[in-house]
Copies of this chain bind each other. A is one copy, B any other.
Amino acid sequence: MSGPTPDASNGETGLGIICGGGSLPFALADAAARRGRRIALFPLRGWADPQRVVAYPHHWIWMGQSQRFMRLAATEGCRDVAFIGSVTRPSLWQIRPDFRVLRLMPQLVQLYRGGDDHLLVGIGRLVEQYGFRLVAPREIAPELTMPRGLLGGHTPSERDRADIARGIALLNATSPFDIGQAVVVADNQVLAVEGPEGTDRMLARVAELRRDGRIRSPIGTGVLVKAPKLGQDHRFDLPAIGPPTVEAASTAGLAGIAVVAGSTLVAEPERIAAAADRARMFVIGVDADGTQR
């Protein structure tokens, strides 16, 4: 089986979207559709939202079904492929490797050792070997990335700005270790560093530490800071925030959220702004070096 056949007549090939969880895959599909692109969704079983995939042509796949995916993507005329949506590192029982993937197993096992970034970049390289072009969501729809400056009406205080700077510096220092992409800093104290548990569970931990009196800073202080790894491939696993992130940060008693502008995916900026205003929290896009305007 060979790769897809690009439709050379107009230079615009179909876009296949491999969908993880959350609303980002559908925001990307809508944005690409508005631009008149032909779209096919490849929702990942166990992650993608079954109720929302029905709006587009779609083919469910298991993680690991590379042959099924490549055959269907070729049929749908999708030479461009985007990965988007939340996918936690699968445990082995969640993967249904087909023959092609099995042949690649020695390579994949090598990739599987090491952090997520390592894994994803490696998988991306494999996909490209089969003639697909992996595209970054922001290449298709720049409006899905966080802008510089504020969403909503609240602004960070001087203390919050210092916490943001410390959070960005910490994430840059841990970047070579391919850990998480988020930290919580409150009044200059680091409260949490994200691991494989993900942002929501990290925020739940902060809420719990606060209930237990193990955090000195009062409710309404502290910032969730998210940033991509330095030099991260923008085609994979960019940090993302949505209205649920605002709610989880509010439950953790934080003052706001800071993310790197242009390198953070936001599915529904208006709803994020509304949620932030309701929670009296700020949401700000800053530069990768921590510069805040």
> A residues near B, CB below 8 A?
88-89, 91-94, 112-115, 166, 169-170, 173-174, 176-179, 187-193, 195-197, 205, 209, 213-216
Contact = CB atoms under 8 A, between A and B. Distances in A.
A204 to B, nearest CB: 11
Contacts of A166: 177
Contacts of A192: 195
B91 A188 contact: no
A177 B170 contact: yes
Nearest to A159: B113
A112 B216 contact: yes
A196 B214 contact: yes
Given A88-B214, A113-B187, A214-B88, A197 B209 contact: yes
15 contacts: A91-B213, A92-B216, A113-B189, A114-B188, A115-B188, A115-B190, A166-B177, A170-B179, A173-B173, A177-B190, A189-B196, A191-B196, A195-B205, A196-B209, A196-B214
B214 A205 contact: no
Given A113-B187, A214-B89, A216-B112, A195 B197 contact: no
Given A89-B216, A178-B189, 14 more contacts: A91-B214, A92-B216, A93-B213, A94-B213, A113-B188, A115-B189, A166-B177, A173-B174, A174-B193, A179-B190, A191-B196, A192-B195, A193-B195, A196-B209
Count of chain copies: 2
Contacts of A214: 88-89, 91, 196-197
Contacts of A173: 173-174, 176-177
Contacts of A205: 195, 197, 205
A170 B178 CA distance: 10
Contacts of A93: 213
B177 A216 contact: no
Contacts of A94: 213
B114 A189 contact: yes
Contacts of A178: 189-190
A89 B88 CA distance: 33
Contacts of A215: 91, 196
B91 A216 contact: yes
Contacts of A189: 113-115, 178, 196
A222 to B, nearest CB: 12
Residue from A94, A115, A195 whose CB has the most chain B CB atoms within 10 Å: A195
